[in-house]
Structure 1
Amino acid sequence: MKRLPAAAAAFLCLAAPALAEGDAVAGKTVFKKCAPCHSTEPVNRVGPTLAGIVGRPVASVGDYRYSAAMTAFAEGGKMWNEALIAEYLMSPKAMVPGTAMAFAGLRKIEDIANLIAYLKAPAGH
């Protein structure tokens, strides 16, 4: 697995407290960048459903066909926890080279924190 540059990794470590305090209402707005390909309902689109992603094993939506790169990345039982989602959202292609996800990533850590807060409870926002 390709790692993020040291500066980005340090940034994530410093921002860790912010991840726990994301604003789900603001995250709903950030999710609009994801919505063309993903849903928070249990329905797949171009990408797999993101319903229940926090705490779910990577590449585990049963009725979705993942890329070979994402399937390989999932080996070893990786789970989508907040830290892994945050790292992935910064640069999906850097974290999972060969992923089919075309999205370049989110640059603002507050957008990432807000999106994660929204993904934890989308129905309430």
Structure 2
Amino acid sequence: MKTMLLSSVALCAALAAPFAAADEAGMAAAGLQLFKHHCTACHSLDTSENAFGPSLVGVVGRPAASVPRFAYSQAMQASGLTWNEDNLRKWITDNEALVPGTRMRHVAITDKAEQDYLISFLRTLK
């Protein structure tokens, strides 16, 4: 009985994997659209070029104020942040509250689903 239960759990996990990957791809695609609407005016997806803001390639897991050749504000340099999901969500919601004195204009994407989509897209930028 125990072996049968474990086999059933393994089968369910194996069947769910393609759906999870498809769901993540769909979320990233929705995030790309949000990125195009909210972010591309200031952020590049090219690692060799910064725009008004730094390139966001590799942002997830990266220490704040660490992209070469970009002049960060004193506030961002002193923030000590690492761009994990929690900090990205706070930044997307109200960057001025997270890092008072930042030069980035306030974005305010407060819808949790839109935040999820955008963060999912940012995770794809490696």
Aligned sequence identity (%): 39
Give the TM-score, by structure 2 length.
0.74
Structure 1, 40-49 or 114-123: larger mean CA deviation:
114-123
Q: Who is 2:68 aligned against?
A: 62
Moved over 2 A (4+): none
Structure 2 stretches lacking a partner, 5+ long? 1-23
Q: Paired residues, what number?
A: 101
Give the CA deviation at 1:103: 2.8
Root-mean-square deviation (Å): 1.9
Structure 1 stretches lacking a partner, 5+ long? 1-19
Q: Who is 2:32 aligned against?
A: 28
Task: Tell which has more relative contact order, 1 or 2 (C-alpha 8 A, sep 6+).
Answer: 1
Amino acid at match of 2:66: S
Residue 41, structure 1, aligned to residue 46, structure 2: yes
Give the CA deviation at 1:104: 2.9
Measure the CA separation in 2 of the matches of 1:22 and 1:94. Answer: 30
- Decide which structure has greater helix share: 2
C-alpha spacing 1:122/1:106, structure 2 compared with 1 (3 Å): same
Give the CA deviation at 1:40: 2.0
Give the TM-score, by structure 1 length.
0.74
Give the CA deviation at 1:62: 1.6
Amino acid at match of 2:97: A
Residue 88, structure 1, aligned to residue 94, structure 2: no
Amino acid at match of 2:101: G
